[in-house]
Amino acid sequence: MRCFLTASLVVASLAGHVYGHRHVAPTSLEEGRTSHRRKSLGFGPEHPHAVFHSTPYQIQTNGFTPMDPAMDPLEVARIFVEDVLMGKLSESSTYRIRGDSYTDKNTGVTHVYVRQLVNGLEVADGDMNINIKDGMVLSYGNSFFNGVTPEPFTNVNAFRDPRQEACETMYNSFMSFQPTHPVDSEQIIMGQAPTPSADIHEAQHLLHDNCGLMSFPEHLNSDDMSDFRPALLQFMATATPNADVAGDILNRFTHHKDSMKVSQTSHFAPSHDEQPIEFTVDNVPDAVNPVKAKLAYIQVPTEGGETTELHLVWKFEVEMQDNWYETSVSATAPHKIISVVDWASDAPIPKVPQVVPATYNVFKWGINDPAVGSRSIEKENFDSLASPVGWHAIPYAHDPSFKGVRLTTNDFYRNTTTTWGNNVFAQENWEGQNAYIYNYRPDAGSKNEFHYEYDPQETEKPDAMDEAQKYINTTITQLFYTTNMVHDLYYRYGFDEVAGNFQQYNFGRGGAENDGVIANAQDGSGFNNANFMTPPDGQNGRMRMYLWNTALPYRDGDLEAGIVIHELSHGLSTRLTGGPANSGCLGWGESGGMGEGWGDFLATTIRSNKIYSDYAMGAWAANRESGIRNYVYSLDETVNPSTYKTLDKPGYWGVHAIGEVWAEILWVVSQKLIEKHGYSDDLFPPAPLEDGTVPAGDFYRPSKKGPLVPKYGNSLIVQLVLNGMKLQTCRPSFFDARDAIIQADQVLTGGENFCELWAGFSARGLGQDASVINRTPWGGGVRTNGYSVPPACKDYVTPKEASI
Ligand SMILES: *[C@@H]1O[C@H](CO)[C@@H](O)[C@H](O)[C@H]1NC(C)=O
Ligand SMILES: *[C@@H]1O[C@H](CO)[C@@H](O)[C@H](O)[C@H]1NC(C)=O
């Protein structure tokens, strides 16, 4: 459940998930308003043994001594994993260092991500993240399975190697292929009429190349673990928001099963650690793209919940209209859904010559919404480090609108006068579909002036939509501007190519490419909300912004920077937590909640001013002074009383409510740093010099060596929050995320804000002695606030407390 809307707008619509049960967000109809609620599933097993160790003491007691500072960090990681962690595991347990591991340029910390394999199969939730600097392991998280591993699959009847089977059946079906096999009328209607000659040709081709086309022989019955189609169909029947589709899947199960076309993904090069085989499946009902499937293990808590055991599952990646699921479904009947993460998060929220840099008539960066300022003409003042060629240039080779087009130019870059560039594709999406390339977007012409009027009038309700659509040029322009600003800002705080940011082209700076943000303005798939889908690095993020029918004229979420920033921050936190290639670390419970909270916190920090003030989220769009959360963000406990213990309250199981508590805690922490270091009016670091070095300016502390340290409290907390995301473990708890921020300060400044940070966390119950018992996957449990700080800080008194 990741909907931006809260109980205040859709009464009592946020209920918790129950492990193993499906949960459907209700559609709400308030006073005749059609308010589209996206159905979203999110749950999974708890990991009672998972840890995040962030103090040298904890690491030394594991018997690890620092290595030579010059040693390759990946080698250090390997030694650490083998010496300290793997020794305790069974022999069939191995590991793989993931390719998305990277070194942070500023801090010098190498973030290494490790995946557990058992019997050669991935353990879907067996994750390690190890943070290394100068030969030292600074911290690590570990959720590797440490129990008794199941027998490998030697029994052919119990499990047949899909790879071998693929080749056998492929060969058989090719040999028995009938060139004129019957075509049923339904297939024609569905546009899937097979053309025999093409099929034969394709089959031959695939068989020849990689033995890749696989069809399941009829004699294998449905409880055969190697046939994942029944598991997939059962998941689709549960996941589809459309009851007719669900009914059709169940009624015509065999038909749907037989219509699926399964192929084996061929990897360009064999990987030395033998990746388990992957399949892609076409013709899956309600999926908008081929589904990816692979066999894996997942950890499920045993009776009593003290330990876990491994279950064999099919792991699917399913892209649907409004959801993008990563799910693990039991490989054996009854195909229970064991975990599911929706990579989508709601927030309730032809060649032209190079022209002059663009200008935009927009609510300038820092103006949160139309209620707090007016528009002005702003330049395309892109950050030269973050966006070296600006916001309107994109290499032809990385431009989806030129996919498959034979080029008649030798130019590398294509320059646009539309809201189409390397970081962002912004367009209308009134139909609410997935297509975006040919959707409408404004063309500013050779002067590149995106100057459009904005003067919506109050109309009768039935005309409100038409009225809003008149200003589509304005709203797309604003969305493009804000999204690019956020790209550039986060880049400068370390969300760069290797860390998994969103860009079509990475300028040879590493990371996976072709993943700019698809930003849909006035998306027709809903009202009064917004959402963001974050697949792993190398696949486009997709943001849908909605109109809000909370007032006349309608309010347009594209114009409220806080909502856009909240959404884009899902992409940030999902890619930074657990590594760029793992989008499954912030799925539910406390981690999912923090995924919401970081967005609120960053949006609030970005809009804040030197003179302290409280802020609401989404107040303009929702037409509600106190916004869409339970409380406004405030230092004053009588205004916002949220503490760690608040998570135990009824109504605090949904990720947005949990996120609100986390954002409030971070807000309090940030003020401690502002009290100490002062406030910077500009969160953007200075542009680099010609030689590529970044000057300190008034932004960073002067320093000859070591990492760049933001000088002021508000810029420092943004840096620590981002660095903390990189350090923390997959599926972090509040404690883990707190410890990661404190360690981020240790790495960046040598720990000089140790006491301020603890003072901030403990002020809202997240002190050293805070505790939780019986935590449940969806955020339940019994929490105790802790107000104590480490002994080193006991004499520490904040200026505010001193004055009382
Ligand atoms: C397009 O933009 C790129 C990158 O800014 C620039 O190098 C190139 O000269 C431009 N191309 C044209 C035809 O103006
Ligand atoms: C939007 O801008 C284009 C030029 O980019 C203009 O032709 C069109 O009329 C504008 N649309 C509206 C609805 O104002």
> How much of the chain, in percent, has pLDDT values that exceed 70?
81
Residue 246 sits at φ, ψ, to 5 deg, of: -60, -45
Ligand 2 pocket mutation pick from 473, 477, 480 by most atoms within 8 angstroms of CB: 473
CA–centroid distance, 248 to ligand 1, in Å, is 52
| Secondary structure letter of residue 84 according to DSSP | I
Atom index in ligand 2 nearest the CA of residue 453 equals 14
> How much of the chain, in percent, has pLDDT values that exceed 90?
56
pLDDT score for 263: 74
Write out pLDDT tens, residues 20-58.
Answer: 222 333 233 222 233 346 788 888 887 878 888 887 666
* Closest to 513 measured CA to CA, from 417, 395, 595, 402: 395
Segment holding 599, helix H or strand E: helix 589-607
Tell whether residue 570 is among the known ligand binding residues.
Answer: yes
Residue 101: inside a domain: yes
Q: Taking the CB of residue 292, how many other CB atoms lie within 10 A of it?
A: 16
Is this structure's pTM higher than 0.85? no
- Name the residue with tokens 């004229």: 553
Domain end point (choices 84, 110, 142): 142
Domain end point (choices 543, 568, 593): 568
pLDDT for 237 beyond 80: yes
pLDDT band at 417 (very low <50, low <70, confident <90, very high): very high
CA–centroid distance, 382 to ligand 2, in Å, is 25
pLDDT score for 653: 80
CA–centroid distance, 435 to ligand 1, in Å, is 28
Residue 12: inside a domain: no
Mean pLDDT computed over 467-494 = 98
Residue 664 sits at φ, ψ, to 5 deg, of: -65, -45
For atom 12 of ligand 1, the residue with the nearest CA is: 354
pLDDT band at 720 (very low <50, low <70, confident <90, very high): very high
Atom index in ligand 2 nearest the CA of residue 443 equals 5
Residue 674: inside a domain: no
Tell whether residue 566 is among the known ligand binding residues.
Answer: yes
pLDDT score for 797: 56
Query: What is the Cα–Cα distance from 535 to 798, expressed in whole angstroms?
Result: 42
Please say whether the beta carbons of 347 and 548 come within 8 A: no
pLDDT for 79 beyond 80: yes
Tell whether residue 82 is among the known ligand binding residues.
Answer: no
pLDDT score for 120: 81
Q: Name every residue whose Cβ is closer than 8 Å to that of residue 621 and which is 6 or more positions away in sequence.
A: 349, 369, 528, 548, 550, 555, 556, 557, 560, 563
Query: What is the Cα–Cα distance from 419 to 440, expressed in whole angstroms?
Result: 10
Write out pLDDT tens, residues 734-763.
Answer: 999 999 999 999 999 999 999 999 999 999
Q: Is the dihedral of CA 408, 411, 415, 421 positive or negative?
A: positive
Spell out which residues line ligand 1, taking CB within 6 angstroms: 353-354, 389-390, 393, 411, 413, 415
Write out pLDDT tens, residues 767-800.
Answer: 999 999 987 766 678 999 999 999 999 877 554 4
- Where does residue 508 fall: left (phi above 0), alpha (psi -120 to 50 degrees), or beta otherwise? left
pLDDT for 236 beyond 90: yes
Ligand 2 in contact with 449 (CB < 6 A)?
no
Please say whether the beta carbons of 17 and 43 come within 8 A: yes
User: Which of 35-49, 349-363, 723-737 holds the top average pLDDT?
Assistant: 723-737
Ligand 2 in contact with 443 (CB < 6 A)?
yes
Q: What spatial distance separates the first Cα and last Cα of the chain, rounded to whole Å?
A: 42
CA–centroid distance, 469 to ligand 2, in Å, is 11
Structure tokens that stand for 267 in this block? 């990897």
Residue 395: inside a domain: yes
Mean pLDDT computed over 90-109 = 89
pLDDT score for 778: 66
Nearest ligand to the C-alpha atom of residue 421: 1
pLDDT score for 777: 67
Query: Would you list the DSSP string of 171-212?
Result: HHHHHT--TT----HHHHHTT----HHHHHHHHHHHHHHHS-
Ranking 96-100, 341-345, 597-601 by mean pLDDT, the lowest is 341-345
Segment holding 745, helix H or strand E: helix 734-749
Ligand 2 in contact with 685 (CB < 6 A)?
no
Ligand 1 pocket mutation pick from 387, 389, 413, 418 by most atoms within 8 angstroms of CB: 413
Structure tokens that stand for 134 in this block? 């100068």
Which amino acid is it at 161? D
Q: What rounded mean pLDDT belongs to the chain?
A: 82
Mean pLDDT computed over 694-719 = 92
Nearest ligand to the C-alpha atom of residue 417: 2
Please say whether the beta carbons of 3 and 25 come within 8 A: yes
Structure tokens that stand for 376 in this block? 């002005």
Cis amide linkage into residue 553, ω under 30° from 0 = yes
Atom index in ligand 1 nearest the CA of residue 415 equals 1
Domain limits for position 138: 51-142
Please say whether the beta carbons of 225 and 157 come within 8 A: no
Q: Is 125 helix (H, G, I), strand (E, B) or coil?
A: strand
For atom 5 of ligand 1, the residue with the nearest CA is: 389
Ranking 266-270, 288-292, 514-518, 707-711 by mean pLDDT, the lowest is 266-270
Mean pLDDT computed over 428-451 = 94
Catalytic residue among 46, 122, 165, 567: 567
User: Which of 243-247, 303-307, 362-366, 799-803 holds the top average pLDDT?
Assistant: 362-366
Residue 74: inside a domain: yes
Atom index in ligand 2 nearest the CA of residue 473 equals 1
CA–centroid distance, 486 to ligand 2, in Å, is 26
pLDDT for 7 beyond 50: no
pLDDT for 574 beyond 60: yes
Mean pLDDT computed over 205-223 = 38
CATH number of the CATH domain containing 55: 3.10.450
Q: Are strands 517-521 and 547-548 parallel, antiparallel or unpaired?
A: unpaired
CA–centroid distance, 353 to ligand 1, in Å, is 8
CATH number of the CATH domain containing 558: 3.10.170.10
pLDDT score for 61: 62
pLDDT for 168 beyond 70: no
Q: Which long-range contacts (CB under 8 A, 24 or more apart) does 635-642 make?
A: 635/667, 635/668, 635/671, 639/614, 640/614, 640/664, 642/764
Structure tokens that stand for 576 in this block? 């930074």
Structure tokens that stand for 548 in this block? 């809000």
* Closest to 524 measured CA to CA, from 460, 468, 450: 468
Residue 686: inside a domain: no
* Closest to 498 measured CA to CA, from 567, 579, 422: 579
CA–centroid distance, 354 to ligand 1, in Å, is 6
Write out pLDDT tens, residues 126-159.
Answer: 999 999 999 889 999 999 998 888 877 543 333 3
Q: Are strands 110-118 and 93-97 parallel, antiparallel or unpaired?
A: antiparallel
User: Is 567 annotated as catalytic?
Assistant: yes
Nearest ligand to the C-alpha atom of residue 411: 1
Ligand 2 in contact with 473 (CB < 6 A)?
yes
Residue 446: inside a domain: yes
Domain end point (choices 568, 585, 618): 568
User: Which of 74-78, 263-267, 331-335 holds the top average pLDDT?
Assistant: 74-78
Ligand 1 pocket mutation pick from 380, 384, 394, 415 by most atoms within 8 angstroms of CB: 415
Structure tokens that stand for 581 in this block? 């290639």
Write out pLDDT tens, residues 670-701.
Answer: 999 999 999 999 999 998 888 878 888 999 99
pLDDT for 272 beyond 50: no
457 or 246, higher pLDDT: 457
Total number of domains constituting the chain: 2
Write out pLDDT tens, residues 517-538.
Answer: 999 999 998 899 999 999 999 9
For atom 3 of ligand 1, the residue with the nearest CA is: 413
CA–centroid distance, 452 to ligand 2, in Å, is 8
Atom index in ligand 1 nearest the CA of residue 355 equals 14
pLDDT for 186 beyond 60: no
CA distance readout (Å), 588 to 335, 399, 594, 598: 21, 34, 9, 14
For atom 9 of ligand 1, the residue with the nearest CA is: 354
Tell whether residue 111 is among the known ligand binding residues.
Answer: no
Residue 289: inside a domain: no
For atom 1 of ligand 1, the residue with the nearest CA is: 415
